[in-house]
Amino acid sequence: MTAPTPTLDDRRDFLTRLGALGGTATLFPGVLWAKLATGADLTDATIVAAAEVAGVSFTAEERAQMLEGLGRQTRQLDALHRIPLENAVAPALLFSPLPRADAVPTGPQHPIVASRPPARPRPTTLEDLAFAPLTTLADLVRRREVSSTELTTMYLARLERLDPTLLCVTTLTRERAMTQAAAADREIRAGRYRGPLHGIPWGAKDLLAVRGYPTTWGTAPYRTQQFETDATVVQRLDAAGAVLIAKLTLGELAQGDRWYGGMTRNPWKLDQGASGSSAGPGSATAAGCVGFAIGSETLGSISSPSTRNGVTGLRPTFGRVPRTGAMALSWSMDKLGPMCRSVEDCALVFSALHGPDGADQTVHAAPFNWDGNAPLRGLRVGVVQSAFDAPIERHPAKPFDDAALQVLRGLGLELIPVELPTFDYDAMRIILTAEAGAAFDELTRSGRVREMAQQNTGAWPNTFRTSRFIPAVDYINANRARTLAIHAWDALMQSVDVIVTPTNGGAQLTATNLTGHPAVILPHGFRADGTPVSLTFLGRLFGEEALLRVAHAYQRATDFHTKHPALG
């Protein structure tokens, strides 16, 4: 049954109805008819108001027939609300971006092969290494030109000096870091070198659990929260010998760059936010305060801060990196990935992160065979031509994007014009809204959501409340529409291995976060005010190897990723 689109007068009338039913505040817990939980009777007027929210209409006779069933449903919801559900409890429904059973690559996993940078001597001043890529830091540590303890001490000092300006840290993990660094130095002296992350200081977005330290999720209600076990990615980086030096900021519950301590700042323009929600990883990496960082993306939270802060970010395929021990915002869209100073750095970090952990059941086993010296021969690269051809009024980064295409052609790549599948991706965003509302149901119903710093129309508290009015039927149908999008993208990616697109061109960001495709975001120029702009490369599902190869070749032919902000 199709309901007419409500007019402004209709919406005003709806608010009047809400007031007559006891006010909006008492109606937000549960669906509208959960007013029964207060002891009130379910009435015809309640059903009419609820139907308006759901976008349907019923006759008086139909509403009368519904009363008994809705009363039973309300009692079921009331019982459901009494079941304690921690954020870590995932629904018994697993999202898969796979369009077909054979979509996950198989084959052997080979040791990674990193390109070998020119041997760099130990600098006179250790802080000269602050902005060095991971490949350079790893080579110095491996050759024992620089110790892990020295690097860790240097980066901790930079964080302490710059954080009052950048506001990129929630907690320094100094004791843990110095213990790890000393252990790394002992192992390397003894000839037990674990690989390119051994002894390298890094920072974790503060939605990753780290035992013995607060995991605040960036918001006051969870400011003192601690967990008994480390997140899987923390465990894997520990196993690789990396040194965790800080929990880095995220916008409240993974939205924006504002957290309970203020606004995390862009090192290139200190009066500007670092963007979010991986604001701290973006800011700290760009400012030379960590060797690399781990961020997360649900709908732009690696892409946006990578763009704003001029770092290189990898958003892996959904189902590549376990999220065990990470805050859940949207079980079918959350992804964890590295934010670094180069594409190859991202590849080296990703090589330590991917693969099943036995807990996150969405993760598939697939090989990632990185060779930093591999040629581009045989790779097909698509270009979203309509996005690049958009007039500069709608495409301010056009000069930078056009120059990037010239570089790619100069690498011998034939750029194949493609167009992205057309869907109303924005309509499917109710998937994120509904899942986020469920993830923070208890926070909303308890009223503690009012403790959050941001309380405006676009902030989570309001979104969590409005999410309760998304009909379950429409949430399921949004996911059915998502299936169509997944198959359309699969058909597109049969013709190319990698797609290059303007970062802010069209619906690619929303589309690929819904379909689960991987992306690399990297700097490719600077505006007149000195702030960076970015280009985005998209890959096939589980196609990170080809994706990173093309992006790596672009960075080898340019030097934008080697620039860094002037900080004290």
The span from the CA of 147 to the CA of 149, in Å, is: 5
In sequence order, what are the beta bridge partners of 498? 381, 539
Residue 258: Cβ within 10 Å count: 24
In sequence order, what are the beta bridge partners of 381? 415, 498
Q: Which of 296, 301, 306, 332 is catalytic?
A: 301
The span from the CA of 334 to the CA of 337, in Å, is: 10
Q: Which of 147, 277, 304, 306 is catalytic?
A: 277
**Spatial CB neighbours of 92, under 8 Å, sequence gap ≥ 6:** none
Contact 234, 244 (CB under 8 A): yes
Contact 352, 197 (CB under 8 A): yes
User: Catalytic annotation on 277?
Assistant: yes
Residue 376: which region, alpha, beta or left (left: phi > 0; alpha: psi -120 to 50)? Answer: alpha
User: Catalytic annotation on 301?
Assistant: yes
| Residue 123 CA from chain centroid, whole number | 35
- The verdict on whether omega for the bond into residue 283 sits within 30 degrees of 0, i.e. cis, is no
Q: What is the DSSP letter of 42?
A: P
CA dihedral sign of residues 158, 163, 169, 174: positive
Kindly give the interhelix angle for 232-239 and 343-353, rounded to the nearest 10 degrees: 100
Q: Which of 35, 147, 205, 306 is catalytic?
A: 205
Contact 188, 144 (CB under 8 A): yes
265 membership: H or E segment, kind and range: strand 265-266
484 three-state secondary structure: helix
At residue 170, what are phi and psi to the nearest 5 degrees? -95, -40
Per residue, what are the HEC states of 163-176? HHHHCCEEEECHHH
Contact 497, 381 (CB under 8 A): yes
Q: What is the DSSP letter of 103?
A: -
Kindly give the interhelix angle for 44-54 and 60-81, rounded to the nearest 10 degrees: 80
What radius of gyration do the chain's Cα atoms show?
Answer: 25
User: Catalytic annotation on 278?
Assistant: no
Residues involved in catalysis: 205, 277, 301
